[in-house]
Every structure is written in C-alpha cells, then in structure tokens.
Structure 1
Amino acid sequence: MTVHLHWFLPTGGDGRTLVDRHAYTDGGITRNRSGGIAGVRAPDIAYLTQIAKAAERLGFEAVLTPTGTWCEDAWLTTVALAQHTERLKFLVAFRPGVLSPVLAAQMAATYQRITRGRLLLNVVTGGDSVEQRRFGDHLDHDRRYARTAEFLSVVRGVWSGRPYDFQGEHYQVEGGLTALPPDPLPELFFGGSSPAAGPVAAEHADVYLTWGEPPWQVKEKIDWIRRLAEERGRTVRFGIRLHTISRDSSREAWATADRLLADPAVHLTALGRGDDADVRFDLATGSPGALTRFLDAVHPGVVVNCAGATRGGARDLTRHNTVAVATVCEALRRSGGGARLVQVGCASEYGPSQPGSSTAEDAVPRPGGPYGVSKLAATELVLGSGLDAVVLRVFSPVGPGTPAGSPLGRLAEAMRRAMQAGDGELKLSGLGVQRDFVDVRDVARAVHAASLSAAQGVVNIGTGRAVRLRDAAAVLARVAGYAGNLHEVDAPHGIPQRPVIGAPRGEATIAEQLAAAPFPYPDGCGPWQQADVRTARDRLGWRPRINLEESLADIWMEAACRI
C-alpha cells in the first residue's frame, strides 16, 4: 500500500492554539482593519509561500487548502503559490453550490495547464447552513448532497472533451464544453458521513476523506464506502485528516497536548446575578449600554451566554431567557470589539420528536412549553443578529451540579432516603421516558470548541443515544449500592402531577411524588429525545467522552453528601 502525505495551508491564519481564531476577524463578522489578532499570524502570501516551500522540500505531495468565509480564496491563493513551487500539488477545497459546474470544470482545466498538472479537488458539500446561506445557498442538508452528485456528473461530462448535455433537478446544461480538457484530470477528494453522502462518494470520489476518529469508527466508514463503490463497479481510495504533535519523547508530546487542551492563555470573567460572579450584572434588567461599556473595557474575544431560567411562568421565562439574550446581542452590536458569541440553547426548542428518530439542526422547532418557546426566541434573536455567533442546543445535561429538583436529582434523593430508611422497595413512575443525556463537562468542552471555531448557526450537543430513565435509574442504583427493588407503578389518582420537592412530613414522600409524575421531564419534549450530533463532530471536532455511569456516580455523590 502506498501512503501519500499532505500538509495543511493555514489560509485563515496560523497560531499556537488547538483551533485558532482567524487572523483579521477574530472569528467575527466585524472586520479588524487595523491589524491582525494578537497571537494569530496573518496568512499573507510571504508566510504561505514559506509553508508551501517547506512542505515541498520535506517531501509532502500536496497541501490541503480550506474554504470558507474566514479563509483566503483557495483557488486564487494556491495558483499564486504554484509560481513559487515546482512539484507541490494543491488540494483545493471548494463548494459545488456556489458556482456553475461548467465554470468549475473550466477553472480546473486552466489550473492544470498553468501549474502543469498540480491540482487536486476537495469537494465540500457544506455542513453549516448559516455559512451556506451566506453564499446564497438555501438548500437543506440532503438536497445539497443530491446537487453535489449532479454537479460532479456535469464536471466529469464536460471534461470528456465532447459537448455534454445534462438535465437534472438542479442543473440543466446544453453542450457543456471546455476549450481543452484538463491533463491530467484532477483527482476528486470527498468527505461526508451522512446517509446522503455515502452514495455520492461511492459514485464520484477518487479519494474518500474522513476525520481522525477511533479506529473502529474509521473502519466502519471505510467498509461502508468500499461496499457502496463495489456495488457501482468502482474502486475508491481513502484518506484521513489528523493533527499530529511531534516531540522528542512521548511524555513531551502528551504534555504539549494537555497544554493545548487546557488553553492557559484564556482569561475568564464571569458576569451574573450571584455572589460568585466576578462582575454583578442582571441581563434581564440591565441596559445594553452598560453591558457595552463593560465589553469595550475588557475587550473579550468570546462571550459565552449560559444565563437563563428553567422554571417560572411565561413572563419570567421570557424575561430571563429572551430579553436577556436581546440585551447581549444589542451590546455586542454596539461594541467595537467584534467578540464571538456562543449562546447555550437547549433541546426543548425542538419540542416532541418521533420515537426512534434523531433530531438534526434543520428540524422544524415546535417547542412544547413556555420554556422551550423562550429559548427558541433567544436562538432566533442570535441567528438574526448579524453577529459572529453559534447556538449550542444542549440536550439533557447530567453530572456534577445536577440540581436536586431535576428528575435525576430527585431520583438520587429518593434513593438516598430509601437507603437511609432501610426501604427495600422504591416505587417510581414515568421511567419509560427516554432522553439523550450528556455530561456537563462534555458540554463545557463543546463550548470551548465552539469558542475557537468558525462554526455558525445551530449545533446539537448530545451523545446521539437515547436512554430510558428506567435504565438510568438502574445504573444509579448500582453506583449507589442500593440493593432494593425499583418498582414502576402507574400514576395514582388524586396526587398532583407537579410534585413539590422537599415536602414536609405528612405530605407526599419523594418516592410518592416521583410516582405521581407520568412525565418527570418538564422540558416539553414528550417521551423521546435523541440528538443528531454529526454537525458537532464535523464543525467543532467535538465528541462526548464521559459515559452515563460516571455522570450518575457524580450525581449520587452529591446526593449522598446532602443533609
């Protein structure tokens, strides 16, 4: 097997963090025209030439060049660098939906003649709907892949050297032709893990690309694409994109990795209503002007908004979840700092979903209660603000700090009291509800990744796996050492369905209150919830790491220590 090694061309800027902010924008819409961002090296032609020459001298076959709002144009940049190199090839990323396929075929043919055959093409169908709309592309995820299939059919047809006709849903071409076909034909690189992407890769790609994932996941994807290609009588090669750390010893390499993950250059300033905040400020009642003055004073690179309320009437929820976000957006618009906004949303914005389904970011939101409505309104404010912003829709967070009044917090408390009283049976109801539980520490990692990325729009944060509350209760019992029986009962008549936690003696016990709640999750999502988390993987490079048992063990430890 022959291994081909490629390097990366940082056309958005270069630096020493794991994921860099971009050189001229700080990752934001507001441009910094006075100079580059501190700690990020600008992608000027002199610096990129140094990288290209070094890659060529060290024996790399090609350099991958990204595409997107925050990068220099890949076609123009690389054809300029080709004049400073002799053998190095350029893997040019481009989006099929933003230019004509016949024009793309012509550009590739011209490029091959100018560079003497040093073009490779990386087809980026696009995973970020906000970024796509910025370029005028309003198709949904699956239709973008269908259009890519037509696009590549036209490109290859035009390269045949004969007039090419094509009639499809997205393209109609009559006599498509280039003056001279490219020689050699550029190889097509293609990535995508969704069901819509696989057949396109199998039909058109020369090389299928995947991210650096656990070996078993990579094997699954390779086997999948290879099978689809064989069904079409084709052979596809495979490539993988990895970030490497090279040091003199393994210990030094891991120490560098830990430093990158810790990101010690980050300085946090916390605003909030509580005593533990660095600066006391109530977003629900404070003025945008006051917040703007604070932002201009500290000049943050990123603003993370995770403030809000989960309980209360519609008026209070609107004030804390929607008005507060409007204040943040207005303050950021007025501020001259160009900070990036990471808004922490929630899965309640989607509302109920079909059991067995995975909810993707393009699902139509239908919140099932005032909490979800207030959070969805906040998301719409962020997306329509014109700011450099991303909304993380967090599914069901668990782990350290889980409120005692939450369903799992109440379950742990009921179990603690049962063990304290020596009860051998715990009666519960509503355990058929299924939720996508994600540890709060994984959520924190997602916020960090979103802060440093250029992702826009909405990104789901979950595990991609629904778990029955019944199964979570069994795991909690195991980690707690509760040897009694968990007995699921129907909700008895006459007991209120909205239990009051901490009821005094003589009223319903915790166990009775849990048994009274047929749907112990007041999030308006009904009996089923499961996230489609492919966008978080593809756009943020994020995956959950902490399993549910560890999260539940932390919930139990806090409940066991509660007096």
Structure 2
Amino acid sequence: MTRIIWSIPTRGDGPRARGWEPAPALPATVRDGRVGGPAFTPFDYLHQISRAAELGGLAGVYVPYDPLGEESLVVSGSLGRDSRHLEVVAGFAAGIATPVYAAKLSATLQRAFGGRLAWRLAVDLDERLQRTQGDFVTGTDRYARAAEFLTVAKAVWHGQDVDYTGRFYEVVKGGFTGPLAGLPFPTVYLSGTSDEALALSAEHADVHVFDLAPDDELDRHLAKLDGRVRRALQATVHTREEESELSGAPGLRGTYEQVADQVLAYRDRGFDTFFLAADPRLEEVLRIAQHVRPLLVGRA
C-alpha cells in the first residue's frame, strides 16, 4: 500500500499567505446567548485542506512544528476531530514540554479521535529559533534528550509507578491510569541523516522520514538503519496533465503518470509512506487526489 500524507501550512499557504491572515474581530453583539463569531477564519482554510485530503482518499495529514507558525498540537487536535479516517501526524519539539505532559496531552487526543494520532519529533532545529522558545539544549545533546523524552513518554503511557532518573528528565511514581490507560501509543516518525539521528530512529522510531535525495545518498543512509524501521520519503511535488506546463522546480516532478511512476519506484525500494506538499495546498491536494492517487491504486 502506498500512503500519502499531505502537509498542512501552519504559517500560510502560497505567496498570499492564505490561512495566515489575522482572524476577524469578534462582534460585540450576543445572539441566542452566544457571542457571534466570524463566518470564516484562517483555521477554516486548514480544515478545507484536511477535508480535501480525506475525501480524496489520502492516508493522513502532517502538521509541522514551526516556532513562528500556528501551534501544531492545537491544529492537530482540531483536524483530528474534524476527520474520521486520516492519520494526523503532529510535529513538535522535545523542548516544548515534559514527556509526561506531552504524553498526557496526546492520550487525550487519541481518545478524542480514535487512535489516529502520530508524532513527528523535531530534533535538529535552528538554534537561534530554539533559544526564542526558551530551549538552550544544543548539539548532540538534543538527540540524547530526544531519546530520554521518548523513553519516558512510552514508559508512563504503558506503565504505572514509573521511576526514571536521567540527564534531562526525572519521574517518580508516574504512569497513566483510568481513561488515559490502554490507548495505542502514537506512531513515532523521526528524520535526519546524521549518525545521531539514525541511531535515535533505530532505537525509538516506527518510521524514518528521508528527504528526497540522489539514490546513492539515500542508500548510504538506509544501510545504517539496516531495515529496523519503516521508511518514508518527504518531497515537494509538481505535477500537471502536460509536461510543458511545469517549471524546473526540484522535487517529484512530471505529468500525473510520471509522478505516479516515481512514487511507485520508491515504493519498490521499500518506501511505503510519502510526505508530500505543494502550494497552494488546497488546489494541489485535490490534483493529487484526483489524478495521481488513482494511478497508484490502479497499479498496486
């Protein structure tokens, strides 16, 4: 099966930054005991993209972590409740919260939309932006912290009376009970090509996401994972009915048939999930759903 996960623009879509406009002011009037709200907000545009992905039969949506964009976990919760089948991949950084709080928040989201939450932990962030978020862990320590973060999150998710003492986190008698217990832990997506990133994935990831790169470069990185986790590919996609309509932008590029062939070639190399994006996101997800996905299904 070929799974397509479409990226949600948390900092606006395209040159007009659609979806990133200031929200209209709430009116002062009260109707039927409730404060009236604007008919259409920037969040509604994100929901349009998500609904198009679901109606088009895509596997999921990815809400990337962006320190300057909308909060990814909030957006993920909103999109997850608005859908019924999509996997919702929430990107976030280990430095934004303790692993216990992130796990509890995620357990609530799992309950809210039936176990369709996934995590994509952002580890190798721009250090300047990291500091603006109050996070001063740098270098290879970020990977050591991410390993502890995932260790603790999984431990309290699945256990009770959990004690843990590490370099970055400490828990005494932690663990989930009651309605938070017994839920599936989010699928963990990780990325990066450094030795530290690949080692972290080998230990903690369910899926490792590679950026599109030359085959020999991908093969070198894949060899280090040695088949221990599933593999995914991330790329921009540029596709039209006629090849003459396309620019020379990098990514998966060509006619609908050519892009489908490229995706299937990667699937034959063991990539089962594809994180795709193109601007504007709404129009392009409809194009992928209507013209490329049927070709993938037909050739499965």
TM-score scaled by length of structure 2: 0.72
The AA in structure 2 aligned to 1:244 is V
Q: For the residues of structure 1 that align with 2:91 and 2:172, how far apart are their CA atoms?
A: 27
| Matched residue, 1:141 | 139
Q: Is the 8 A contact 1:126 1:132 kept in 2?
A: no
Q: For the residues of structure 1 that align with 2:196 and 2:245, how far apart are their CA atoms?
A: 42
Q: For the residues of structure 1 that align with 2:246 and 2:98, how far apart are their CA atoms?
A: 45
Gaps spanning 5+ residues in structure 2: where? 26-39, 251-300
Deviation at 1:237, TM superposition (A): 0.3
Q: For the residues of structure 1 that align with 2:172 and 2:242, how far apart are their CA atoms?
A: 60
Q: Is the 8 A contact 1:189 1:208 kept in 2?
A: yes
| Matched residue, 1:220 | 220
2:234 to 236, 241, 260: 241
| Matched residue, 1:178 | 176
Q: For the residues of structure 1 that align with 2:2 and 2:139, how far apart are their CA atoms?
A: 32
Q: Is the 8 A contact 2:154 2:185 kept in 1?
A: no
The AA in structure 1 aligned to 2:84 is E
Q: Deviations over 1:24-43 (max 9, x none)?
A: 6xxxxxxx8999xxxxxx98
Q: Is the 8 A contact 1:105 1:178 kept in 2?
A: no
Tell me how large the CA RMSD over aligned residues is. Answer: 2.5
**Equivalent position SS for 1:149:** helix
Deviation at 1:138, TM superposition (A): 0.8
| Matched residue, 2:201 | 201
- 1:195 and 1:43, CA in 2 relative to 1: closer, same or farther beyond 3 A? farther
| Matched residue, 2:57 | 59
Q: For the residues of structure 1 that align with 2:234 and 2:41, how far apart are their CA atoms?
A: 21
| Matched residue, 1:6 | 5
Q: Is the 8 A contact 1:11 1:71 kept in 2?
A: yes
Q: For the residues of structure 2 that align with 1:184 and 1:210, how far apart are their CA atoms?
A: 25
Q: Is the 8 A contact 1:12 1:22 kept in 2?
A: yes
- 1:111 and 1:22, CA in 2 relative to 1: closer, same or farther beyond 3 A? closer
Deviation at 1:209, TM superposition (A): 0.8
2:89 to 87, 91, 95: 91
Q: Is the 8 A contact 2:189 2:206 kept in 1?
A: yes
The AA in structure 2 aligned to 1:103 is Y
* Structure of greater Rg: 1
| Matched residue, 2:189 | 189
The AA in structure 1 aligned to 2:236 is H
**Equivalent position SS for 2:163:** strand
Deviation at 1:69, TM superposition (A): 2.1
How do residues 357-436 of structure 1 correspond to structure 2 at under 5 angstroms? none
The AA in structure 2 aligned to 1:13 is G
Deviation at 1:200, TM superposition (A): 1.0
Q: Is the 8 A contact 2:94 2:122 kept in 1?
A: yes
Q: For the residues of structure 2 that align with 1:239 and 1:136, how far apart are their CA atoms?
A: 31
Deviation at 1:162, TM superposition (A): 2.2
**Equivalent position SS for 2:222:** helix
Deviation at 1:199, TM superposition (A): 1.3
Q: Is the 8 A contact 2:158 2:176 kept in 1?
A: no
| Matched residue, 1:405 | none
Deviation at 1:240, TM superposition (A): 0.9
How do residues 73-112 of structure 1 correspond to structure 2 at under 5 angstroms? 73-112=71-110
Gaps spanning 5+ residues in structure 1: where? 25-31, 36-41, 228-234, 259-563
- 1:178 and 1:76, CA in 2 relative to 1: closer, same or farther beyond 3 A? same
Q: Is the 8 A contact 1:164 1:177 kept in 2?
A: yes
- 1:43 and 1:240, CA in 2 relative to 1: closer, same or farther beyond 3 A? farther
Identity over aligned pairs, percent: 31
1:250 to 234, 243, 257: 243
Q: For the residues of structure 1 that align with 2:183 and 2:23, how far apart are their CA atoms?
A: 41
Q: For the residues of structure 1 that align with 2:243 and 2:170, how far apart are their CA atoms?
A: 56
Deviation at 1:82, TM superposition (A): 2.4
Q: For the residues of structure 1 that align with 2:204 and 2:243, how far apart are their CA atoms?
A: 40
Q: Is the 8 A contact 2:23 2:41 kept in 1?
A: no
Q: Which has the higher contact order (CA 8 A, sep 6+)?
A: 2
Q: For the residues of structure 2 that align with 1:56 and 1:33, how far apart are their CA atoms?
A: 25
Q: For the residues of structure 1 that align with 2:19 and 2:195, how far apart are their CA atoms?
A: 32
How do residues 8-23 of structure 1 correspond to structure 2 at under 5 angstroms? 8-15=7-14, 23=20
Q: For the residues of structure 1 that align with 2:46 and 2:182, how far apart are their CA atoms?
A: 26
- 1:121 and 1:43, CA in 2 relative to 1: closer, same or farther beyond 3 A? farther
- 1:188 and 1:182, CA in 2 relative to 1: closer, same or farther beyond 3 A? farther
- 1:139 and 1:111, CA in 2 relative to 1: closer, same or farther beyond 3 A? same
**Equivalent position SS for 1:190:** strand
Q: For the residues of structure 2 that align with 1:77 and 1:102, how far apart are their CA atoms?
A: 20
Deviation at 1:22, TM superposition (A): 9.2
Q: For the residues of structure 2 that align with 1:189 and 1:251, how far apart are their CA atoms?
A: 36
| Matched residue, 1:123 | 121
The structure that is strand-richer by fraction is: 2
**Equivalent position SS for 1:159:** helix
1:132 to 130, 133, 136: 130
